[in-house]
Amino acid sequence: MSYETVIGLEVHAQLLTATKIFCACSTRFGAAPNENSCPVCLGQPGALPVLNKKVVDYAIRAGLAIGCTIAKKSIFARKNYFYPDLPKGYQISQYELPICTGGAISITVNGEKKTIRLTRIHMEEDAGKLLHEHPTTRSKEASWVDLNRAGVPLIEIVSEPDLRSAEEAVAYLKTLRSILMYLDICDGNMEEGSLRCDANISLKPSGAEKLGTKVEIKNMNSFRHIEKAIAYEVQRQEEALQEGGKIVQETRLWNPEKEVTVPMRSKEEAHDYRYFPDPDLLPLLIEDSWVTAMHQHLPELPTAKRDRFISEHQLSPVDAETLTSSRDLANYYEACVKVYPDAKKVSNWILTELLRELNNSGRSIKQCPIKPERLAGLLQLIDQGTISGKIAKTVFLEMYKTGEPADKIVSRQGLTQVSDTGALEKMIETIIAANPKETERYRAGNEKLIAFFVGQVMKETQGKANPQLINEILRKKLKP
Amino acid sequence: MTLHSLTLHEIHEKLRKREVSSVELTQAVLKQIAKTEDKIHAFITLTEELALAQAKQADDLIQKNKGASPNNFAPLTGIPIALKDIFLMKGTRTTCGSRILSNYVAPYTATSVDNLLKDHAVIIGKLNMDEFAMGSSNETSHFGICHNPWDLKRIPGGSSGGSAAAVAAGDCFGATGTDTGGSIRLPAAFCNLVGIKPTYGRVSRYGVIAFASSLDQVGPLAKDVTDCAILLKALAGHDPRDSTSLNLPVPDYTASLTKDVRGMTIGIPKEYFVEGLDPEIEKAVRTAIDHYQKLGAKIIKVSLPHTTCAVPTYYILAPAEASSNLARYDGIRYGFRHPEARTLLELYTKSRTEGFGPEVKRRIMLGTYVLSAGYYDAYYLKAQKARTLIRNDFEEAFKQCDLLLTPVAPTAAWKIGEKTDDPLKMYLSDIFTINVNLAGLPAMSLPCGFTKGGLGESPLGEPPLPIGMQLIGNHFKEETIFRAAFAYEQANEWHQRRPAL
């Protein structure tokens, strides 16, 4: 029997607010344990939460970008469970009335476009974390609690079970990540846990309506792990079903070393979170004016930008897709085009030369040593005939190394193109005289030999000759 | 008359006239505590040193004011006040009457306490209370039972029993309390005091240990209506750290004390005068009603048809919230941690098993049950709906009248141990007070009589016991309550009686 995979994702995104969701503590990453803490986020007796409005701003932005409905009234609920990193014994989250519902994200997998629907987006606080090794003494005799992360704001973005493969799941996540980063509400840093993902996976006989038993894989934080974990889990379930086995509803964890998923808890051990509205927080009422204000601050999103690059700049869909994969890269490209309007040339230089160098040196576009105006300046030098395209590549590497403007490098290294017709004519006459055999063959009709002569001239001028000029003179002089 | 039996505003006059210093006053009160504490056990922690230092500071302040405007200091300046041990004060042990917090030293100060400190009140100690404010008799305190100063064999009422007993015994001139289902009003009635539970949100809950967040409200207990008005004015105010705090200016409640109730309509809800109400209580309350009529108030009959839903509704909602609010006491970060636990689960179960008393455990279990998947709709959600009906009842009633007048409790203070074996019987003692919390309304308990007393087991017979009546106002209408209460108080002398100790 053949099976169809059904995947739904729950993505936790840490919001880029300066302070926590229910108190004024800093959200800075990397502080000493418990440095960013106060009675509220420590769950001290008598402490009460006060909602950070910025978190609501960000949640509304995410909702608007994804086409969700923003709820006029949403409610914070308590999710009750015991764990040492959960100071109050409950997590403040949203349950029955979340801030955003609906919406959708389009993804492209193998050139095919697909729409993934969203169930909801809700706001919640993060828990703290446990250290099983003491941060200074390295002792492992006990576990320590660090509550710096407790109360850091998150949004949880829940998809409908519309995904059908690991590739689709990764494409969805990449798109979602880029939207959140475009909105400037999440840094997308998966290593630091700013973006985490749980996957619900089930298999059903192809064509069947009813969903199969689902398994949840918790807390994955890299695209590679997510892809591998889902692929593994799909295969595991398929093998079990093919052998006539049954899938048990459970929560599993991905073990990246062994590359397998392992059971964490079964349905019977599942928590009863005893959700109920948090009586310490009033219902959140959002007036239309708030949503309108957020709408006005919404930046152009990746899909819109990509479409515009295709229609306005005549870029290929693939190039436009790559250029818009990150907001910073798209900004870089647009800054270049502003100075040097030949979009195709700019795009080519960025996609080949620049991205290659960035990749090689492990830098992000934000850390790029060549400012957009300077890259544009380089292209202008080519157009002006000051340097050849070939020399430009050498100049580019030097720019990348030093950050200097192109013209400075060109004049310092004497790379200016030789466009002196008289000098070139003399040189070409000498070359023709020195290569009688090739001259004869060319004149006999072997026009491909022109390349040989160009090469000779370039060799003589160390690449600095204007190729167009060389061609002109050569054809004239080689005429039979 | 001895210093400790005076009212707060009388003491303020003495401080103004420099007839007494705050240090002398504090010493007098400490002496009274030393004399009575063995019998009453109103305190969990005494803050003697702190109090004397604060009194010294207050005296300096009063002396400084001697020049240009000699009387320009707050009515609480230099006056010994005590706090129910549910209020956090930085550096002071705050136990909430529980073993699980028996070693907890507060790292910050509650907003309401800060408000008292801003006025330079002197904090004399932390008062006994039912564990986590759960109880109507002060018998569930981990630190032992508190006794009623009017009859040491009896309970002072709960859960602010220590607060009431201390004020009645002259151990302080006012005390803070919290009222979740009547915990200010019941002990006030049982100890012949004036106590007010303000509108929900009037006083900040920040730094006050939560029992049931949607019902808890802070309020004062005092010897008379004027003292109560002074204390509430100091405690109240908007607090940006409490999301449920009202963003409204605090009126000067003492300005409402005008003796005049003419033109006021007082509603008498028929559901509050039913079987189970002690005849002596009924008589005292009805006499007070007649008195209001004589003073010029219009008395009308009203109905609050969902009154009987209040107790079951309360005993679903309050434990539900409590079960969640008390989850933080897990032995991990502060408070009692069981020394022998070897695993995480053992740490939780042993710390909580030995840290909490039986009443608290009962309510945690109840609350956990009613919030459980599958039971939520049948209990919690239904109780929320009943709460709306109860609230609507009051809304309807307040279309017809300015105030409601009812008894506070069906009986006077009962004997220690009398109801401890029967939680349901105990729960019914709050039958007249709980509705107000569910509706978020302000309500006051004030003295309106005494039982006859008579022959009992004791050779001296049973002493007469205080009786309280309840004035319930509409949302934010504390001023109306104060006005009516003051008018009654001016025409009666019940509040001037002091227990023989």
Residue A284, min C-alpha distance to chain B (Å): 11
Q: Between β-strands A250-255 and A215-220, what pairing exists: parallel, antiparallel or unpaired?
A: parallel
* pLDDT mean over B103-118: 98
Cβ atoms of A19 and A52 within 8 Å: the answer is yes
Residue A159, min C-alpha distance to chain B (Å): 24
Cβ atoms of B404 and B356 within 8 Å: the answer is no
- What pLDDT is attached to residue B457? 67
Cα–Cα distance measured from residue B145 to residue A181, given in angstroms and rounded to the nearest whole number: 60
- What pLDDT is attached to residue A263? 92
In chain B, what percentage of residues exceed pLDDT 70? Answer: 98
Q: What is the mean pLDDT of chain B?
A: 95
* pLDDT band for position A397 (cuts 50, 70, 90): very high
Whether A463 has a pLDDT exceeding 80, the answer reads no
Residue B152 is given by DSSP the state T
Whether B459 has a pLDDT exceeding 90, the answer reads no
Instruction: Look at B110 and A87 and tell me if their CB atoms are within 8 Å.
Output: no
Whether A96 has a pLDDT exceeding 90, the answer reads yes
* pLDDT band for position B1 (cuts 50, 70, 90): low
At A182-208, the pLDDT tens digits run: 999 999 999 889 999 999 999 999 989
At B330-374, the pLDDT tens digits run: 999 999 999 999 999 999 999 999 999 999 999 999 999 999 999
**Residue among A238, A253, A116, A152 at smallest CA distance from A197:** A253
Instruction: Look at B104 and A45 and tell me if their CB atoms are within 8 Å.
Output: yes
φ, ψ at A254 (rounded to 5°): -85, 125
Residue B498, min C-alpha distance to chain A (Å): 34
Cα–Cα distance measured from residue A316 to residue A310, given in angstroms and rounded to the nearest whole number: 6
At B395-445, the pLDDT tens digits run: 999 999 999 999 999 999 999 999 988 888 888 889 999 999 999 999 999
In chain A, what percentage of residues exceed pLDDT 90? Answer: 72
Task: Enumerate the residues of chain B whose CB falls inside 8 A of the CB of residue A78.
Answer: 324
* pLDDT band for position B50 (cuts 50, 70, 90): very high
Instruction: Look at B243 and A282 and tell me if their CB atoms are within 8 Å.
Output: yes
Token pair, residue A3, equals 């099976």
- What pLDDT is attached to residue A413? 79
pTM of the predicted protein model: 0.90
Instruction: Look at B207 and A46 and tell me if their CB atoms are within 8 Å.
Output: yes
* pLDDT band for position A1 (cuts 50, 70, 90): confident
Supply the DSSP string of A85-120, one letter for each residue: T-TTSEEEEE-SS-SEE--EEEEEETTEEEEEEEEE
Nearest beta carbon to residue A145 from set B206, B242, B332: B332
How much is the ipTM here? 0.95
Task: Enumerate the residues of chain B whose CB falls inside 8 A of the CB of residue A45.
Answer: 88, 94, 96, 101, 104, 106, 209-210, 328
Residue B249, min C-alpha distance to chain A (Å): 20
Nearest residue on chain B to A92, alpha-carbon basis = B324
Q: Between β-strands B298-302 and B265-269, what pairing exists: parallel, antiparallel or unpaired?
A: parallel
Q: Which of A284-288, A410-414, A446-450 has the highest mean pLDDT?
A: A284-288
Alpha-helical segments (H) within A243-354: 288-296, 302-313, 317-323, 327-339, 343-349
* pLDDT band for position A33 (cuts 50, 70, 90): very high
- What pLDDT is attached to residue A419? 66
* pLDDT mean over A255-262: 92
- What pLDDT is attached to residue A470? 82
**Who's near A478: CB < 8 A, 6+ residues apart?**
A432, A439, A442, A443, A450, A453
Nearest residue on chain B to A81, alpha-carbon basis = B327
Q: What is the mean pLDDT of chain A?
A: 92
B84 is an active site residue: yes
Instruction: Look at A46 and B88 and tell me if their CB atoms are within 8 Å.
Output: yes
- What pLDDT is attached to residue B137? 96
Whether B67 has a pLDDT exceeding 60, the answer reads no
* pLDDT mean over A3-14: 97
Instruction: Look at B324 and A42 and tell me if their CB atoms are within 8 Å.
Output: no
At A352-384, the pLDDT tens digits run: 999 999 999 999 899 999 999 999 999 998 888
* pLDDT band for position A309 (cuts 50, 70, 90): very high
Which of B180, B325, B377 has the most A C-beta neighbours within 10 Å, making it the best mutation to test the interface with A?
Answer: B325
Q: Which residue has the higher pLDDT, A265 or B89?
A: B89
Burial of A299 (0-12, 13-18, 19+ CB in 10 A): middle
Whether A243 has a pLDDT exceeding 80, the answer reads yes
Q: Which residue has the higher pLDDT, B287 or A433?
A: B287
Residue A402, min C-alpha distance to chain B (Å): 53
Whether B88 has a pLDDT exceeding 70, the answer reads yes
Task: Enumerate the residues of chain B whose CB falls inside 8 A of the CB of residue A82.
Answer: 327, 330, 348
> Which range (A37-51, B142-156, B423-437) has the least confidence?
B423-437
- What pLDDT is attached to residue A446? 86
H/E segment holding residue B117: helix B111-118
- What pLDDT is attached to residue B69? 57
H/E segment holding residue A430: helix A421-434
B324 is an active site residue: no
The dihedral through the CA atoms of B438, B439, B442, B446 has a sign that is negative
Instruction: Look at B210 and A46 and tell me if their CB atoms are within 8 Å.
Output: yes
- What pLDDT is attached to residue B394? 98
- What pLDDT is attached to residue A249? 93
* pLDDT band for position A266 (cuts 50, 70, 90): confident
B183 is an active site residue: yes
* pLDDT band for position A447 (cuts 50, 70, 90): confident
Instruction: Look at B243 and A82 and tell me if their CB atoms are within 8 Å.
Output: no
Task: Enumerate the residues of chain B whose CB falls inside 8 A of the CB of residue A43.
Answer: 328, 333
- What pLDDT is attached to residue B501? 86
- What pLDDT is attached to residue A390? 82
* pLDDT band for position A268 (cuts 50, 70, 90): confident
Instruction: Look at A276 and B380 and tell me if their CB atoms are within 8 Å.
Output: yes
Nearest residue on chain B to A50, alpha-carbon basis = B243
**Who's near B282: CB < 8 A, 6+ residues apart?**
B273, B407
In chain A, what percentage of residues exceed pLDDT 70? Answer: 99
At A134-168, the pLDDT tens digits run: 888 999 988 999 999 999 999 999 999 999 999 99
